[in-house]
Amino acid sequence: MAKKKVTVATASLQSCFGCHISFLDLHEEVLGVFDLIEILHSPIMDVKEVPQVTVGLIEGAVANENNLRVIEEFRKKAKIILAMGSCANLGGVPGMRNFFYQEDVLKRAYVETESTVKGKIPTSNQIPKLLDEVKPVHKVIKVDYYIPGCPPLPEMIKDAIIALVQGKEPEWPTYNLCKECKRYHTLMYIPQREFLTETVFSPMELEQIDTEKCFLEQGVLCMGPATRAGCHTRCINGNIPCRGCFGPTPDALEQGSKMINALSSILPAGTLMHLEDVVGVGYRYSLPVSIYPKVSPPKGGKK
């Protein structure tokens, strides 16, 4: 008799759908996963009610009233909640909205974009209202397990599902990306000024970039020291510095300050980050779980 499959429901909250796409990027390997699981509900299935399932796989941050409703229903219906990707775990790119007043965000999106003509902010109650701030899923409901990354590697999603099917916990590296990185890096571990740079370079600006040498040691800001390993340095392999999408290591208070701390041992405190964009680099994926001060609403106004 065929073994009973583990039932799964998936949801997409405030997100780009990239985590679901990453799952599909397993290509033919996805068939092996479908031998183990049966998906009973997903954003691309016409199923109105979330059924009782074993695993609720959630992509995206909690940013509006509909997202809230969906995850509360998932928590009731799924035995195990698996938060997939940086948006679900840290707030992710949508969480950058927390740095702005809500009114300004709506104005920018509906009125001010370059392609908009006579735009206006919609007021229909059919459109879910934005929450005051974007939150990762675990700030609203209990999350049992997570998969880091923006998006997680396809094989990580597969490994997490297989682990749960086998009654195990998904496990991820707890060390930082520099430990996984093949570029030679010697100076960054020694407090010194030999490779102090006057400014921040983007890889395109470096006349001759050494593709085997650590980015930081060439004056290119790379978030490797403050980022969890596990992606097999996929950006660095393409000569692009890490932007931290796997989030902080579990022992870090938070990612941006960990990076400033790491830099301060090799450079005047945080110089590289302050010359670039502290929030855009240090907190691109994790602003909602950072110690960065929240933007206070203007007096009498709404955030």
Residue 236 engages ligand SF4 in binding (rule: CB under 6 A): yes
Beta carbons within 10 angstroms of residue 4's beta carbon = 7
Q: Is 177 in the site for ligand SF4 (CB under 6 A)?
A: yes
Least separation in angstroms between CB 297 and ligand SF4? 26
178 forms part of the interface with ligand SF4 (CB under 6 A): yes
Question: Is 87 a binder of ligand SF4 (CB under 6 A)?
Answer: yes
- Residue from 39, 40, 156, 245 that binds ligand SF4 (CB under 6 A)? 245
Say which DSSP state 215 is in.
Answer: S
Confirm if 221 and 267 have CB atoms less than 8 A apart.
Answer: no
**Nearer of residues 39 and 87 to ligand SF4, judged by Cβ:** 87
**Which stretch, 73-81, 97-105, 133-141, 178-186, contacts ligand SF4 (CB under 6 A)?**
178-186
Q: Which of 136, 151, 248, 256 binds ligand SF4 (CB under 6 A)?
A: 151
Q: Is there binding between residue 82 and ligand SF4 (CB under 6 A)?
A: no
- Residue 62 binds ligand SF4 (CB under 6 A): no
**Residue 174, number of CB atoms within 10 A of its CB:** 11
Between 40 and 156, name the residue whose CB sits nearer to ligand SF4: 156
Q: Is 215 a binder of ligand SF4 (CB under 6 A)?
A: yes
Closest CA to 295 of 134, 138, 89, 66: 134
**Beta-sheet strand order (sheet of 6-12):** 37-41, 6-12, 53-59, 78-84, 145-147
Candidates 233, 225, 229, 235; CA nearest to 256 is 225
Helical (H) or strand (E) element with 65: helix 65-77
Q: How far apart are CA 31 and CA 41, in angstroms?
A: 18
Which residue type does 182 have?
Answer: K
Peptide bond into 173 cis (omega under 30): no
Of residues 81 and 150, the one with the C-beta less far from ligand SF4? 150
CA geometry: angle at 89 spanning 83 and 92, to 5°?
Answer: 125
Q: Is 59 in the site for ligand SF4 (CB under 6 A)?
A: yes
Looking at residue 174, the DSSP 8-state letter turns out to be -
| Using rule CB under 6 A, residue 64 touches ligand SF4 | no
Q: Which of 63, 231, 259, 281 binds ligand SF4 (CB under 6 A)?
A: 231
Neighbours of 274 (CB within 10 A): 14
**Of all residues in this chain, which one has the CB nearest to ligand SF4 in the complex?**
224
Which DSSP letter does residue 108 get?
I
Paired with 11 in beta bridges are 58
Q: Which one of 47-55, 118-126, 173-181, 267-275 is the stretch in contact with ligand SF4 (CB under 6 A)?
A: 173-181
266 binds ligand SF4 (CB under 6 A): no
98 contacts ligand SF4 (rule: CB under 6 A): no
Contacting residues toward ligand SF4, per CB under 6 A: 15-16, 18-19, 59-60, 85-87, 92-93, 150-151, 177-178, 181, 183, 185, 214-216, 222, 224-225, 227, 231, 233-236, 242-246
